[in-house]
Structure formats: C-alpha cells, structure tokens
Copies of this chain bind each other. A is one copy, B any other.
C-alpha cells in the first residue's frame, strides 16, 4: 500500500503535514501493516510552501512508486493549477491507477478541475465552497470530510488530520486508527 502526498510551491503546510504525521505514524508504528508513505514533488528543488516553509520531497512524479492512495493538499499554490492541462493530466493519470484520491482544503479544486468531482458530493476550505461548486461538484458545506469511494475530500487545513485517521480506519480498521490517534495524542481542546 503506497500512499503519495503531493508537494508543490504554495501548498499549505498543515494540509499535508497533518496527514503526513498520521500516515507516517501508522507506517512506522505498525510495520507489519505494509504501508509506505512518501512525499512527491514536481522537481528535486526545495518546495516553498504557502507560509514559506522549505521542504525536500522524497520523490518526483517521474520516479515515485505507483500510488494506491494520493493525498493532494490545498493552499494558494492550487490556484495556478486550475486550467493547467499538465496538472489535469497528472491528476487523471494518478486517478486511473489509485484506489483513493484524497484531498485536503483547496486540493479538491484541483481534483474538480481535472473532472474527478463532476456531480459528486465534496468539500473544501469554507472560503472556497462557491468555487468548488462552480467547478462542478455538489458541495457539502457541513462535512469535515466526504468519502465518495474513490475520491475523499476534506475541509480546510486541519481537517486533513481527521481525514487521514479516517483513511487508516477505512484501509485497515477503526482499532488501528484509534491506536494511531493515541500515538499522536489527538485529543483536541481548542482553547478559543
């Protein structure tokens, strides 16, 4: 089970770092489950994220192992992807192979632009729900994440943590997801 997390300039940090933490905690804590998780960029250069963090991806799309699950984060870096035929083809090629295409935040706009969400229930960051609808999805404004079988979309930024725990539950078991949750002490208590 190969899980690829897409990195690109302008990707929102927590959009991908939340799922990375959850899924890599699964990978490292339960190696017998046979899960691999890696990041994939477009080039070998450092990726400059939305808030300026610089990260080196594990692979490029040209050399990455085939992905069973893809996680596409959001962030302002998704805007120039909309209408970009190379990105559309990349997403469509990944979707043709993967069991699950997952997104966080405005990553779902990229999936919608590539035709993956036409007429399908989906979500995104609260500030982009209208745009997601314009791109053809049937927007669910109240969902933390939406599982449409081969596509799972999550709400904004921090929703990727919840979605990734759900992925562990769906791909393995609720028990394993609860164990991963405990390992990262995910007992949120927002103070405001």
Q: Write the residues of chain A forming the contact surface with B, with a CB cutoff of 8 angstroms.
A: 12-14, 17-18, 20-21, 24-25, 27-28, 39, 46, 51-56, 58, 105, 125-126, 144, 155-159, 161-162, 165-166, 169, 174, 177-178, 181, 183-192
Main secondary structure of the interface of A (DSSP, over half): mixed
Once bound together, how far apart are the Cα atoms of A65 and B187, in whole Å? 34
Task: Return chain B residues, CB-CB under 8 Å to A28.
Answer: 51
Tell whether A184 pairs with B165 under 8 Å between CB atoms, given A21-B14, A55-B54, A56-B56.
no
Known: A13-B21, A21-B13. A190 touches B185 (CB 8 A): no
A166 touches B191 (CB 8 A): yes
